[in-house]
Amino acid sequence: MLNIVLFGPPGAGKGTQSEMIIRRYNLQHLSTGDILRSAIEKKTKLGMEAKMYMDKGELVPDSVVIGIIGRILDENRDKADGFVFDGFPRTTVQAEELDKMLAKKGLSISQLLALEVEYQELVDRLLKRGQISGRSDDRNINVIKNRINVYNDNTRSVMDYYRAQGKYSGINGMGTIEEIFERICKAMDALPK
């Protein structure tokens, strides 16, 4: 199985590239952001709790997110040739827990692919999406800046966690969606089968 962590700051293109990766490699897309937004839309208890954090650009507590991922892994394991984890793990605690959950199933992360994008480009992409999609966390410049700060303070260290395992690849995330996808495919095709 090919289990990829697609990593990067908010607006790096994780969601966008995940959609293309899962089609080419027959993988399953697991986006914690999408799952949380769907819970908010359905007004579930989880959704109401998550909304308080997401509207401010803060991370939802580890225990909440880890519980969700555990359930989904159990339900979906046999449905594809592996997973693309998009927006998860976002802390080293989440990364450690993910390793434990996968190990129980005899699985592991194959590689972390980190999309590298300049600060102003991130802000511009998110503001543009805010105008089109109306996503509340993309409409306020202060919330966008806070999300990038939270990434730098709490999430960036996840790269070191995988680097220490020899599972880190940096990908230039500037350019067109197709150009970036080609770079990702090159990195994925070079992974041991």
What is the size of the binding site for ligand B4P (CB under 6 A)?
Answer: 29
Torsion angle, CA of 120/188/98/52, rounded to 10 degrees?
A: 30
Q: Which residue has the tokens 């090919």?
A: 2
Catalytic residue among 14, 51, 125, 183: 14
Which one of 21-29, 56-64, 72-80, 185-193 is the stretch in contact with ligand B4P (CB under 6 A)?
56-64
Active site residue 135: yes
Query: What string marks each residue from 110 to 139 as x (binds ligand B4P by CB under 6 A) or -?
Result: ---------------xx--x-------x--
Which one of 14-22, 39-47, 75-83, 184-192 is the stretch in contact with ligand B4P (CB under 6 A)?
14-22
Cβ 160 to ligand B4P shortest distance, Å: 17
Write out the binding residues for ligand B4P, residues 128-187 only, by CB under 6 A. Answer: 129, 137, 147, 176-177, 180
For residues 151 and 144, what is the distance between their CA atoms, to the nearest angstrom?
11
Residue partners of 30: CB distance under 8 A and separation at least 6: 69, 72, 76, 83, 84, 85, 86, 88
For residues 119 and 163, what is the distance between their CA atoms, to the nearest angstrom?
23
Catalytic residue among 129, 139, 163, 167: 129
Q: Which helix (H) or strand (E) holds 125?
A: helix 119-133
Tokens found for residue 1? 């199985």
Query: Using CB atoms, what's the residue nearest to ligand B4P?
Result: 33
Is 12 among the residues that bind ligand B4P (CB under 6 A)? yes
Active site residue 14: yes
For residues 142 and 179, what is the distance between their CA atoms, to the nearest angstrom?
30
Is 90 among the residues that bind ligand B4P (CB under 6 A)? yes
Burial 25-54 (b: 16+ CB within 10 A, else e): bebbbbbbbebbbebbeeeeebbebbbebb
Is 51 among the residues that bind ligand B4P (CB under 6 A)? no
Residues that bind ligand B4P (CB under 6 A): 10-16, 32-33, 36, 53-54, 57-60, 65, 87-88, 90, 94, 125-126, 129, 137, 147, 176-177, 180
Catalytic residues: 14, 90, 129, 135, 147
